[in-house]
Structure 1
Amino acid sequence: MHAPAPPTTHPPSRTASLALFGLLGFASGLPFFMFTTVLALRLQAHGVGVVVIGFFAWIALLPTMKFLWAPLLDRLSVPGFARFWGQRRGWLMLAQLGIAASLAAMAFTSDDRSLPLTALLATSLAFWTTTLEVAADAWRIILYPGKAAQGPVVAASVWGYRTAMVAAGSGALIVADGQGWTAAYLLIALAALAPFPLLAAMAPEPNARGGRTTALITGIATSIAILLGVALAIAAIGWLLLAAAGALGIGAGSNVTPVVLGLCLIPFVALAIALPYIRRAPADAPIRRSAVTGPYVDIFWRYGTGVLALLAFVSLYRMGDVLALTLAKPLVASLGYSLRAIGIADGAVALGASMLGVAAGGLMAARAPLGRTLALGAILAALGNWGFVWLAHRPPASLALYLATFADQFGNGFAGAAFVVYLSLPVNPRHPGAQYALLSGFAFLLPRLLGGASGSIVAQHGYDRFFLLSGALSLAALPLLPIVVRLRPRPEDA
């Protein structure tokens, strides 16, 4: 990889912008259910226990770690692709190929005879999905600074994201019910690759060098080498983690909840210790000038102790939704609903509810006080979680499943759109990709850590108490709202 080409300075027209970021949101959302809820149902169908299914939820931790490689996307470009289409689109095209390749590999290993291999491929899919999001988020923040500009673009992006999630989850389950898991994953792999030719057909950057065909061939060849390298790195890290878990005695019967809760406290304790040193650091201090640490130190330097409240808020706000996502589909399947019934509910019902929720959340975030919008989003998300408790106490019926699905998806969509707008505001435009990756990654660190223990919680307390807890946690961030909406950054020094 080489230094980036100068970025595009003029955003597309308003209509083109909404369509573009709707497409990017669609491309990011399409694979998500395939390594979360759809994979959970697939594992359940193959007889994997609920505790181990919960462990697979830790794959979704990878997006919370995206700050580890997000700076590379701000500083490097993909050879071939970037020369013609620019830095951001180059990363988007590479990520598209990584997503399609990972999905295809999961399709041909859909019997899940080797759970470590399944975990490796699902982790690869999560990595490339996250990389796509990082590149798209950075581009959005650069092109559209400010709340008023962010609102419509975020709504289009989240709309596309959630449309793809629902379409992938619904389509995959319906196909799996009739044709098997291999066909389901291959279908989504083909759909995931569909945006690639559209990106390749777009106009080149103003400073493009060489021809389109040469750039495409060079970019694909480079991408294959990068994909293989990333797969080997993930395999090596996974082997080390499995060895460490075995040495600690962690297995299918382990109660990991206390350990996870302890791990959740580590980032906050570390930040509290480091903040005084960061606040005193002058502009020429190595930690502020470093290409690796500088973008992250900057946000702590600007917000000081207020960053603890900010990070606590973003960590709690989506807690309920993330926990519910892990085991919502296994719960519904355990109630006697077929894969086809779940797929239909995740189709028209969930898609319509999600689109309405995202549109309402994005519109209100742009026009109303953000604190009020965030509060309403948290309440709607809690009601959506509690809808599963209501569903569990009713005999299987399509209407009941549709009502619970609608409440869950509308609340999730509304809260998600408002939350993305909020996360974009503390970001320094000088470090858009890295800082947004940090905030959005931290937002899901705690819930996804606890998500891995969700199977243990259900095994001990049952689905009822689990979903009552997840709904209550959706409201846990509300006491912090008056603080975070008043936070203002420290003026930058020289």
Structure 2
Amino acid sequence: MQTTIASTEAERIPFWSALVRDRRIAPALGLGFSSGMPFLLTYSTQSAWLTDAGVPLATIGLLSELTLAYKFKFVWAPFLDQYDPPLIGQALGRRRGWLVVAILAVMVMLVGIALGDPGHWIWWTVGFSFALGVAGATLDLVLDGWRITSVRPPEKQAVLAVLSSWTEIGWRVGNLAAGAGALYLADRIGWKGAYLCMAALMLVGIVATLFAPEPISDMEPHKPHAGFVKTIWAPIQDLLKRLGPMAVAILLLVAGFRMPGYIASAMAVPLFKHQGFTNTDIATVTKVFGFWIALGGTFMAGWLIPRIGMMPSLLVGTVAGSASHLALALLAAHGGDGGKAFWTFTLAVGVEGFAYAFASIVLITYMSTLASVEHAASQFGLLTSLCAFPGSILAGFSGFVIEHTGFVWFFIWTSLIGIPVAMLAVFVWYRVGISDEAPIQARGGH
């Protein structure tokens, strides 16, 4: 039986005025900022501190596994949907209560890392960094749950697109603070002071939580708590049941949507180094210039989705995201002139970064429409892990591929991966689609 869904015209939401008119947007911006900080501070930024402290490179490489919590956060996500946080849950609600708990946990772990000395007591740093990864992943889960459940049932997916875009903007600013900001502070006040400043910046999230409106779902009576296994299985069962016969196709689309991007990004910096660009060139273009380009892609997605709808935006996102790798192939073919082709480098990074940011917002909004209110954190966490896992695994083989094909054909092939994904998006669009309000339904039945 062919599955279809009633189509509705997407509600047009003023992107900029929503920041003032909708009381959910400003808190989403602040919460996104707090959510964007822990990941880099768990490993990437911290690796610079470990290097300064004389920690062996082999050890630093192994510590990258501290970010595994972000890959497996779906395991404990169901408990955040099912159970209230102790003490403050009744006062703030389930979502906001867990937000405060997660943010305070991140602050404590950052202070713990600041009080350590990785050069002489590495296990102290490892312990607090692992806990920071768990706390940061939990913060991501709870924020996603709040963002999805804050959109009331009568509202359109356009509202969700705008809310997701502003959350992503805050995340990118927080990411910049935890990256370039922490490095800047470390040169001036030392690593301990930098991490203490990062802990203090997390107060932005506390303030945002207190001003955030409470989702309607938090006001509903809680269902009886299920057993351990049922708590974990219930969100998966609910998702598969709601997606129905199209579950496999939709989940494959989610898994493949960002696969080309994950594979290509693993070899982007090696390409830049191979072309002769300096660390300063790479930092300037990818971090500073790239930050503003990514904001542009985020704004574009927030503006476009309400105007053309979810599934057309999804198709545009997968085509643009994959095709943008041809810019990196062009840079590889150009040769970089020994690091002198700065503007060619900038153009390639700009095209790829803009498309990546646009595609990310489109996918976030789409996955948000797939998650139910009752299992928002669980199902969104599961979908994000599904999105990242295949590409992350294949990215591990990217270096071996380049040894046989070279950089040019590697990036051409990663762009071509987008063709079957785009065809799958067209298939899902034709067979199902996701409207603004209605659930997936079968034609001629319920």
TM-score, structure 1 normalization: 0.67
- For residues 134-189 of structure 1, give each alpha carbon's deviation from its aligned partner in whole angstroms, at most 9, with x where no partner exists: 1111122222144122121111112222233244333345556x469836962773
Is 467-476 or 80-89 further displaced after alignment?
A: 467-476
Verify the 8 A CA contact 2:185 2:194 in the aligned structure 1: no
In structure 1, distance between residues paired with 2:406 and 2:47: 17
Q: 2:322 aligns with which of 362, 379, 382?
A: 382
Is 477-486 or 328-337 further displaced after alignment?
A: 328-337
SS at match of 1:198: helix
Shift of 1:70: 1.0
SS at match of 1:417: helix
Equivalent residue, structure 2, for 1:487: 432
Equivalent residue, structure 2, for 1:124: 131
Equivalent residue, structure 2, for 1:70: 77
Residue identity over aligned pairs, in percent, reads: 24
Matches within 5 A, 1:126-145: 126-144=133-151, 145=153
CA RMSD in angstroms, aligned pairs only: 4.1
Matches within 5 A, 1:80-99: 80-99=87-106
Amino acid at match of 2:387: A
Amino acid at match of 1:198: V
Matches within 5 A, 1:346-361: 346-361=286-301
In structure 2, distance between residues paired with 1:387 and 1:187: 40
Q: 2:379 aligns with which of 435, 442, 451?
A: 435
Distance 1:462 1:165, change over 3 A: farther
Matches within 5 A, 1:246-265: none
Amino acid at match of 1:135: V
1:345 equivalent in alignment to 2:254: no
Verify the 8 A CA contact 1:95 1:131 in the aligned structure 2: yes
Matches within 5 A, 1:77-476: 77-104=84-111, 122-144=129-151, 145=153, 146-174=156-184, 178=187, 182=191, 186=195, 189-190=198-199, 192-199=201-208, 202=211, 290-329=230-269, 331-332=271-272, 337-391=277-331, 393-394=335-336, 395-397=338-340, 398-454=342-398, 467-476=411-420
Shift of 1:312: 0.9
Shift of 1:410: 0.9
Verify the 8 A CA contact 2:259 2:391 in the aligned structure 1: yes
SS at match of 2:23: helix
Distance 1:470 1:115, change over 3 A: farther
Shift of 1:292: 3.0
Structure 2 gaps of 5+ residues are 1-18, 216-225, 434-439
Structure 1 gaps of 5+ residues are 1-11, 207-285
Amino acid at match of 1:443: C
Verify the 8 A CA contact 1:57 1:451 in the aligned structure 2: no
Distance 1:378 1:118, change over 3 A: farther
Larger relative contact order (C-alpha < 8 A, sep ≥ 6)?
2
Equivalent residue, structure 1, for 2:34: 27
Amino acid at match of 1:311: L
Verify the 8 A CA contact 1:154 1:417 in the aligned structure 2: yes
Verify the 8 A CA contact 1:41 1:329 in the aligned structure 2: no
SS at match of 1:444: helix
Amino acid at match of 1:98: A
Task: Figure out how many residues of one structure are paired with residues of the other and give that number.
Answer: 400
SS at match of 2:232: coil
Amino acid at match of 2:359: A
Shift of 1:75: 1.8
In structure 1, distance between residues paired with 2:305 and 2:258: 16
Is 459-468 or 400-409 further displaced after alignment?
A: 459-468
In structure 1, distance between residues paired with 2:202 and 2:318: 34
Verify the 8 A CA contact 1:60 1:448 in the aligned structure 2: no
- For residues 381-406 of structure 1, give each alpha carbon's deviation from its aligned partner in whole angstroms, at most 9, with x where no partner exists: 23444444444520324434433332
- For residues 103-151 of structure 1, give each alpha carbon's deviation from its aligned partner in whole angstroms, at most 9, with x where no partner exists: 4555677868999887765543332222112111112222214412212
